[in-house]
Every structure is written in structure tokens, then in C-alpha cells.
Chains A and B, each alone.
Chain A
Amino acid sequence: MSLFYFVAFLSIFFSLMVIITKNPVHSVLYLVITFFTFTVHYVLLNAQFLAVVNFIVYMGAIMVLFLFVLMLLNLNKETEPMKSVLIKVIGAVAGMCLLVTVAGSIRAMEVSDPLILKNPDIGLVSSLGKVLFNEFLLPFEISSLLLLTAMVGAVLLAKKEQKSI
């Protein structure tokens, strides 16, 4: 239990560092560390497939994509948008709304009974595979269509068409 609190503290600390730090590249690197602490959470919950997916796809691939997007942007000082007073006021109002929502939800919160899983092995890779290839076969095959759509969309958006064809 104390391990959970330690890892939860690390998660909150590094996710705060993501928004506090000024350098966007450092921000992305802190986000990687935050995702790593999430992986530790998944392992502690015995959700091992999620842990592996989080480690490989989120930490490995998607964060690299984030870095690429940062490189695509022009981050020179002179191109930074002017932070006008209006934007600051809107930001303050939005932050206050979020604060009120969080405070209200904490007031309404109550501790529920701990949920005990009937089968503690439910998050393992093999038990997930048994479910995925029997009951959830159709969503699995449709997800390949989703990936295909993403691929075609990416090519369509990023590839310049030749004029001669």
C-alpha cells in the first residue's frame, strides 16, 4: 500500500512538472516519466497487458510522435504568440471553473468498499487473448479497419500530390 502511495506521489509530481516546466521538450520528457509511473501502477494492479501496451506504445511510440510534432512547430522566441490580457482573463476563469468542479466533486466523494476481483488473473495477456479472440472478435477486426483509416488519412494529409499525374 505504501508503494502505491509512493508511485502515486511520483505520478502527480511528474505530471505537475509537465505543466510547470517552460521548455516544451523537457515537458514531453517529463510526460514520458509520468507514463512510466502509470506503467508501474498497472503492474501493481496486475494488469500486465496494459502495462506492456503503456510501456511500448505510449512511452515508446506516441511520445516520440509528440517530440516530432514539437519539431514540426516553429518554436523560436519571435514566433511565440502574444499573450494578451483577454487570454489571461479567459484562462483564469477556466481555471476557477475547474477548481470549483474539483472542489464540488471532492465534497460529494465518499469512500466505497474495496472492489475484490473474482479472478485476479483477469489482466494477464493470455486471459485477455482468450476473450479478445472469442467474444470481442468483431471489435478486434474492426479495429484493423480503424488503423487502416488512420494510415490512409495520414498519407492523404501529409503527402503532396504530384501535379503531372
Chain B
Amino acid sequence: MEAATNSTPVDYLPILLQMLVAVGFGVTTIIGTHLIGPKLRTENKLSSFESGIEVIGNARQPVSIKYFMVAILFVIFDVEVIFMYPWAVNFRSLGMEGLIEMFIFMGLLLLGFIYVIKKRALEWD
């Protein structure tokens, strides 16, 4: 019992190291290209690239609420998946009972998903 789930904060050190390497690579690449590359700043080069079309206005335009719909539905299903982690870890010990409990949970959220589909909330008309 005590040996199986004995994990400490030290176990997360490799993850931290990996993150440091990933972030470090990104940062060094950006700084390195700035240091090595030639610096020629003209007005055309500094303007944002829009596939060759002249820039109109700025990027601070309000976007459509449909993007927000997709994002908030993503968050809701993300929370659902979060609840599945402790269930999946204890899957064997919970047995059939746990399976039914989880299916009720997922069924209720599936109802919501059917509602979203029926309402055509994700369609891009």
C-alpha cells in the first residue's frame, strides 16, 4: 500500500529540467538570430506580412463570438477529462461500480454535447 503510491515532489525534477531545456532552446534561438543576423530595417520589412496585400487598419479588431463558443466548449470538456484522471488511475479497484458512475457522468455531458450539435452552435454559417 505505502510503496505503490509513494511519489514525492523530487519526482518532478526531470519534467522541470525538460521544460527548462525547451524554453532555453526557444529563447537562445530567438536571441541568437537577433545577434547573428544582419540588421536592415526598412518600412516595408517592419510592416506585418499579409500575403502581399496592403495592411488595412490594425490587429485590434473584435473577433466573432463563434471563436469564443469553441473555446468555452473546449474548457468544459477539458474539465470533464480532468475528472477522468483519478478514475482511470483507480480503474481496477473501482470495478464495475466505478464504470457505471463514470458513464452517468459522461452521459450527462453527452446530453450537453447533443444539445450543442442540435442547436448548431458549432456550425460556421
- A interface residue numbers (CB < 8 A to B): 40, 43-46, 48-49, 51-53, 56-57, 60-62, 64-65, 68-69, 71-76, 121, 124-130, 132-133, 137, 140-141, 143-145, 147-148, 150-152, 154-155, 158-159
Q: Which residue of B lies closest to A60 (CB)?
A: B78
Category for how many chain B residues contact A:
35 or more
- B interface residue numbers (CB < 8 A to A): 2, 5-9, 12, 16, 58, 60-63, 65-69, 71-76, 78-80, 82-83, 85-87, 89-90, 93-94, 97-98, 101, 104-106, 108-109, 111-113, 115-116, 119-121
Q: Which residue of A lies closest to B7 (CB)?
A: A124
Main secondary structure of the interface of A (DSSP, over half): helix
- Which one of B58, B61, B76, B90 lies within 8 Å of A147 (CB-CB)? B76
Instruction: Assess whether B94 is in contact with A133, with CB atoms less than 8 Å apart.
Output: yes
**Contacts A57-B75, A127-B5: A72 and B68 contacting too (C-beta < 8 A)?**
yes
- Which one of A44, A46, A129 lies within 8 Å of B87 (CB-CB)? A129
CA distance A74 to B63 in the complex (A): 9
Q: Which residue of B lies closest to A145 (CB)?
A: B108
Tell me which residues across on chain A come within 8 A of B66, comparing CB atoms: 158
Tell me which residues across on chain A come within 8 A of B121, comparing CB atoms: 155, 158-159
Tell me which residues across on chain A come within 8 A of B68, comparing CB atoms: 65, 68-69, 72, 158
Chain A to chain B contacts (Cβ below 8 Å), 12 pairs: A53-B82, A71-B67, A73-B62, A74-B62, A129-B86, A133-B97, A133-B101, A140-B101, A145-B108, A151-B112, A151-B116, A154-B76
Q: Which residue of B lies closest to A39 (CB)?
A: B12
Instruction: Assess whether B115 is in contact with A71, with CB atoms less than 8 Å apart.
Output: no
Instruction: Assess whether B71 is in contact with A65, with CB atoms less than 8 Å apart.
Output: yes
